[in-house]
Amino acid sequence: MKPTLQTRLAVEFIGTGLLVTAVIGSGIMAERLSSGNIGLALLANSIATGAALVTLILTFGPISGAHFNPVVSFANALDRGMSWPETLAYIIVQCIGGIIGTALAHAMFGLNMMTFSHHVRSGFPLILSEFVATFGLVAVISGCSKSRPSVIPFAVAAYITSAYWFTASTSFANPAVTLARLFSDTFAGIRPLDVPAFLLAQFAGGLVATLFFRWLQPLEPKSGLSGPPVRLF
C-alpha cells in the first residue's frame, strides 16, 4: 500500500518545484504591482507562500510525506529511521525540482528561464535569522508530529507566513529553495556568494531543533534496529 520510492521521488520533485514556483512567482507579481511599496509586496508574498504550502502539503503529504526540504528529510533520517540512501535521493530530487520551479515561474512571467541573482543577503543578522527560522520550522514539525500530525500542514504554513516577517532574512529555511532562488534575479532571489552561509545555518538550526526535541520528548526505544521509514507529515 505504501507508494513506491519512484512515486515518492516524483512527488518530492514536483512538490518542491511548485513550492519554488509559488515563492518566486508571487514575489515577481507582488513587486510588479506594489508601486515600490516593499511592505505590501512582502505581505502578498508571505500570504501566497503560506497558502501554497498548506495546499502542497495536504495534496502530496499522503504520498511522499511532503518534505520538500532537505533539512526536513535530514531530520527525518536522524529521528525516524528514514534510510540514508533514500534521504539522499529525496534531497537530490528536491534540489532539481526547485530549480525547475524557478524556470517555470520565470516562463510564466515572461523572463529568462534562469539568471543569477544579484540580491545581496549577507551579514551575521541574516545568518542568525536563517538559524532561527530553520530551528523553528523543525521544532514545529517535531512538536506537532507526535501529538497532532493532522495539523502539520496548517502549522507549517502559518509558521512560514509569520517567519517571513519576524526574521531579517525572510526565512528561506530550506536549502533546496535557497539553491533555486539563486537562479532568480527577482524579489525572491539570493546572490550565489551568499548561499553557502545560508545552507550551513539552515542545517545547523535543523540539527539543534532535532536534538532539543529529543531531550524534550525522549523517543520510545525502537523495537528493532532498522524500523521502517515514518511519514513526517
- Site residues for a copy of itself, window 187-206 (CB under 8 A)? none
Concatenated DSSP letters of 33-90: HTTT-HHHHHHHHHHHHHHHHHHHHHHHHHHH----SHHHHHHHHHHH---HHHHHHH
Nearer to a copy of itself, 74 or 135 (CB): 135
Nearer to a copy of itself, 127 or 224 (CB): 127
Q: By CB under 8 A, which span of 87-95, 99-107, 197-205, 221-229 interacts with a copy of itself?
A: 99-107
* By CB under 8 A, residue 123 contacts a copy of itself: yes
Site for a copy of itself, residues 48 to 67, rule: CB under 8 A:
48-52, 54-55, 58-63
* CA 83, chain centre distance (Å): 20
Q: By CB under 8 A, which span of 21-29, 71-79, 80-88, 191-199 interacts with a copy of itself?
A: 21-29
As a whole number of angstroms, the distance between CA 138 and CA 140 comes to: 5
* By CB under 8 A, residue 33 contacts a copy of itself: yes
User: Side chain identity at 191, as an amino acid letter?
Assistant: R
* By CB under 8 A, residue 146 contacts a copy of itself: yes
Which of 9, 95, 100, 157 touches a copy of itself (CB under 8 A)? Answer: 157
Nearer to a copy of itself, 218 or 224 (CB): 218
Q: By CB under 8 A, which span of 80-88, 138-146, 173-181, 223-231 interacts with a copy of itself?
A: 138-146
Nearer to a copy of itself, 161 or 178 (CB): 161
* By CB under 8 A, residue 26 contacts a copy of itself: yes
Q: Helices 5-33 and 84-108 meet at what angle, rounded to 10? A: 30
* CA 111, chain centre distance (Å): 24
Q: Return the residue matching grid coordinates 521521488.
A: 9
Which of 22, 179, 190, 195 touches a copy of itself (CB under 8 A)? Answer: 22
As a whole number of angstroms, the distance between CA 218 and CA 214 comes to: 5
As a whole number of angstroms, the distance between CA 45 and CA 80 comes to: 33
Number of residues that bind a copy of itself (CB under 8 A): 79
* By CB under 8 A, residue 110 contacts a copy of itself: yes
As a whole number of angstroms, the distance between CA 22 and CA 181 comes to: 12
**CA 60 to each of CA 13, 29, 99, 184, 228: distance values in angstroms, whole numbers, following the listed order:** 11, 25, 19, 25, 20
Q: By CB under 8 A, which span of 67-75, 136-144, 189-197, 220-228 interacts with a copy of itself?
A: 136-144
Please say whether the beta carbons of 30 and 86 come within 8 A: no
